[in-house]
Structure 1
Amino acid sequence: MGKRSRGHKRGDARLRILRDGDAPPTKRGTTQPGDALQPLVLELRKRLRNPDPWELLAFVSTIVTATEGAAAPEVSGNALHGLVESFIGVDLAETTAALHVLAVLVRDEDLVREIDAELGHRTQPMPLWLRDIRDTRVRRAAVVSAEDDIGEDIILGIEWAGAGEASFLTYIDHAAGTVVKDAFPAPMSVADALVHLEGVPDDDADVELEELDLGVARALLEDALDQGDDLDNDFESDTWPSSRPILEWLLSALPEIEVDLRGGPGVEDVDDFAEMVLRERADVIEEFSRSAEAARVGLGLTPDGQGRDDIAISLIVGADVLLPPEDFRRWTPERVHELLLTVLPANVLVDEPVAERIPQVLKAFGTWSLTGLDAPGADVTALADAIDRDGREYVALATSREAGNLREAIRAYERLTGLEDLALPILESDDASTR
């Protein structure tokens, strides 16, 4: 599960009193909310009366986002704990409704048990979808992409308990590092949502739909959440990150599968990986090899594919396996940071010649790619600066004493056991038997 963003304060302005920890727990069992809780009860009442479940869910999700990491000086724990205690202390339909939603959106297991214990004593009638909220199911997943858009919408089809269908849309931005940039609920089925997306004017761009396995959808979205946390992005909209608790709840109901989405050479035979990448991107690589940028860095590709430049270019062009061929040339500083300081260190060990060559080849390939796409000069400059900056850090990491010791330790253990592929693959341009 992706780590929930820290420090995001955006949300409904009426919740500022909760973020500041000014709503102390009310005496358990009362039906009279205090002055601090009264405005919140009124908001909950309005949303509980709305037939669209998303109205209440979105509001409570905003509460969780606003209070989960906020300090609450007048109560033990964070502001969310204090708020839950306040709801438990006021036995009203509105607080009962909020507790039902909090029971699925909160990730603190002890707090959830406390909520469930209280709900066992509540008697107010609730809408069927809310009473049985844990029976909510994600029945369908699809990815929607448009021409010339470096990103895609992943749509989850929701089935409420006794209340029909709905959708939850998440936009993943590849240009920013394959991260979640926005997410929001929609009170319509997936089919209706697709019709709506196709009708959005966007220079008549063709919209493509691909059905997703539910486990793959979970892996894609969780990886994008983790990427956003790793890059410490702070994208905000009217619905993000306030809807993150909803997304995490829905993902928790999907099947888990083991899949490598980071694009590193996490395969049994690294030679086969390099050959596969070079083969699939052969046209682009050949075009690049004839460019002035390639000539300036002295690019040299060998027939057997074992030279330092062969390894460098295969790691570079194979880093974004989720991107279609027409998009992977659109390099950004965020993608550079992800490749050099996350993907490569986590997936492969290289010797010094290869390590030093990767930033050089990446700078030539990235600037050539953007120039060929008629990108603004400022974007090309920003990319080059990012490669220079992160490239130095990557080379220092890849050529460190610790990295050298790790390579030797892996080889020693393989000699001892007679087994291979037990750890990170090792790529060295001088070794024709590279793992």
Structure 2
Amino acid sequence: MSTRKRTPRHPDSPARTTRDAQPPPETDLLDRIAGALEDDDPLSLLATASTLLAITDPRDHEQFADAAPGPDRDELVESFLAAPLPEISAVLAALACLSGDDVLRRRVHREIARRGHPLPDWLSGLARATAEPRAFEVTHTLRDGDNVLISVTLPGGHQLTAVVYIDHNMGTMVKDAFALSGSLEDVVGQLEAAAVADPDMTARPLDPADARARIGEAAELTAMTYPPIETDTWPSSRALVEWMTGLLPPGGTGYEVPEWSDEDLDDLTERFRASRFAEGTDGTGGLLALLMSFGTEQSLGDPMRWSPVAVEILLADWVPRTVVADVVFLAQLPDLLRAFIRFCHHERGVRAGLTEETLAAVDEYEAAYQQLIRSDRAQDPAGILEAMGVISDVDLAEIMLEDLAHAVGGEAALNELDADPLPDEPFAWETVPADVHGRVGEVLELVDRCCAELLDTEYRTACRRLLCDIATGDPAVFRRRGKATTAAAALCWLVGKANPLFDREAGTGPHLAVKHLTAHFGVSTGSVSQRSEALLRAVGADPHDVGGKDLGSARYLTGPQRARILTARDRLRERAGTPD
């Protein structure tokens, strides 16, 4: 934006060392301020002040070390304080109030009083502005973004209403925002009139405290984003919007992203597979998990929210840029996506016209997607980090190799790793203290029964080994009171996570939903998670890694899981240029 450029001082001009030595503001700026003052609408001057504050906002220059230096607010204020003109006094008053800086506001107030320049009543009393006790939110059925509407009343009765568009596809950030002269009722009435022609738009009351939280969090996230977001209205309106938002009551709730548990995703999977929309999608379980992963990781965290924009992000960016998989596998994604969109929109009651628009987006981006997944561009996190200059592909490969080594028990273990199936071996009672044999035996019986009914011999051996190592490493685990069923479920859960039993994208080996495992033992996932901490600590693993993805030894890994690690090891060593 051109407003971000500061007119450079001529190299031969003297340095400015005192307020009196500073030149007056440029003529075009003075004309703009004078025109705003002549306007009966306070918004003109407030918008000018907001733009000046946006140009000098330190958040745009200090957030990132490599960002270009920008104009300084203090320097701007000093130049205005050195120009005793009525127009400058007016804009100083607006700048000081919108800035939220109490020290600056008091200083400006003293200077204006010294000058004796008369100000409009609404401006001299701007600090007494009040927020309307209501707010509104205008949403669309597909939730690409929301408009949040708030309003303030200035001294004298003039009302301003801000419309803030929060884009969920961009990560729930402010994309556009502008203020209008008029009451909240008038603006909402205009939007409701427009909604008559658009049945997918809904205007509803929003708690003012929640409006403050939502706008504030979204604006803060936007300020942290690099490269910065710049539109016709943002960040030029940021100071005005943030001042208006700051007049609302605190204590509200921002956007709450729902957490989809494994059980929730399993239920969604089962509903889709049982529906008529899933016909012809057999064998795409891994791809379905990919779609759900995209949905739960993006913005509102909803795997059932599909719009044309979400489709574009998925096919044109997210999958080609972040997913490493076989081309034949990924090529099936558009067809599955069409089926899943139809299913999700049917369950949510989305209008047929919107479903057709969303499906049309799949048609539009499919050709480019098929080309991208067959291209040589980096299709993993390394490509992202390397493009950002944060880390090289070689460095990332070495870090990932270290993680693999830690997972199997060290670099030597990673070098010697094989993919042979775990043998059918008995429980090693000889290392377990005699006083806990009874409790350990109860857990062992439950674990063996689970493996016989739901899993296989390899899982039974892995679970037996882990149980033995826990009882040997910290027998006190079984000397304390606790249900054997919870301990058995936690142990099977840890082994399942390490292999991974619950990964829908995994190839060979048993697959099981977490809810089916916990249901077998008649326990809750929460109790399993809590019990897992002590079990992890007993074998020297991270007690906070209750997911159990890293048990620190290949002893507990099945053949298929070790085969996956071997494949990853060889690929990463090739990327890192590390000899075998």
Using structure 2 for the length normalisation, give the TM-score: 0.51
What is the aligned counterpart of 1:179 among 146, 168, 173?
173
More helix by share: 2
- Percent of aligned pairs sharing the same letter: 22
What is the aligned counterpart of 1:99 among 89, 92, 103?
92
- How far apart in 2 are the matches of 1:414 and 1:134? 59
Partner of 2:437: none
Asked whether 1:318 is paired with 2:284, we answer no
After TM superposition, the structure 1 = structure 2 runs for residues 108-187 of structure 1, keeping only pairs within 5 Å, are 114-119=107-112, 121-139=114-132, 140-147=134-141, 150-187=144-181
Give the conservation status (yes or no) of the 8 Å contact 1:329–1:366: no
Partner of 1:190: 184
Worse-matched range after superposition: 49-58 or 62-71: 62-71
Closer/same/farther in 2, CA of residues 62 and 183 from structure 1, 3 Å limit: same
Asked whether 1:275 is paired with 2:263, we answer yes
What is the aligned counterpart of 2:243 among 231, 238, 249?
249
Instruction: Give deviations 1:205-256, integer Å, cap 9, x for gaps.
Output: 4431121122322332233334445553655443222112222223333344
After TM superposition, the structure 1 = structure 2 runs for residues 412-423 of structure 1, keeping only pairs within 5 Å, are none
- How far apart in 1 are the matches of 2:270 and 2:214? 27
Closer/same/farther in 2, CA of residues 362 and 134 from structure 1, 3 Å limit: farther
Deviation, structure 1 residue 277 = 5.5
- How far apart in 2 are the matches of 1:117 and 1:290? 72
- How far apart in 1 are the matches of 2:101 and 2:83? 21
What is the aligned counterpart of 2:44 among 55, 67, 71?
55
After TM superposition, the structure 1 = structure 2 runs for residues 5-24 of structure 1, keeping only pairs within 5 Å, are 9-11=1-3, 18-20=6-8
Give 2:226's aligned amino acid. D
What is the aligned counterpart of 2:79 among 86, 91, 98?
86
- How far apart in 1 are the matches of 2:36 and 2:234? 19
1 or 2 for the larger relative contact order (CA 8 Å, sep ≥6)? 1
Give the conservation status (yes or no) of the 8 Å contact 1:133–1:161: yes
SS in 2 for 1:241: coil
Give the conservation status (yes or no) of the 8 Å contact 1:319–1:339: no
Deviation, structure 1 residue 377 = 3.9
- How far apart in 2 are the matches of 1:109 and 1:115? 10
Worse-matched range after superposition: 80-89 or 218-227: 218-227
Give the conservation status (yes or no) of the 8 Å contact 1:277–1:318: no
- How far apart in 1 are the matches of 2:360 and 2:83? 61
Partner of 1:369: 337
Closer/same/farther in 2, CA of residues 279 and 120 from structure 1, 3 Å limit: farther
Deviation, structure 1 residue 89 = 1.2
Closer/same/farther in 2, CA of residues 186 and 382 from structure 1, 3 Å limit: farther
- How far apart in 2 are the matches of 1:61 and 1:245? 5
Give 1:145's aligned amino acid. T
- How far apart in 2 are the matches of 1:255 and 1:361? 52
Partner of 1:217: 211
What is the aligned counterpart of 2:30 among 19, 23, 41?
41
Give the conservation status (yes or no) of the 8 Å contact 1:333–1:383: no
Using structure 1 for the length normalisation, give the TM-score: 0.65
Give 1:59's aligned amino acid. T
- How many residues are treated as equivalent by the alignment? 379
- How far apart in 1 are the matches of 2:166 and 2:206? 15
Instruction: Give deviations 1:334-354, integer Å, cap 9, x for gaps.
Output: 5799999xxxxxxxxxxxxxx
SS in 1 for 2:84: coil
Q: Alignment RMSD, CA only?
A: 5.2
Larger Rg: 2
Give the conservation status (yes or no) of the 8 Å contact 1:152–1:171: yes
Deviation, structure 1 residue 50 = 1.7
SS in 2 for 1:195: helix
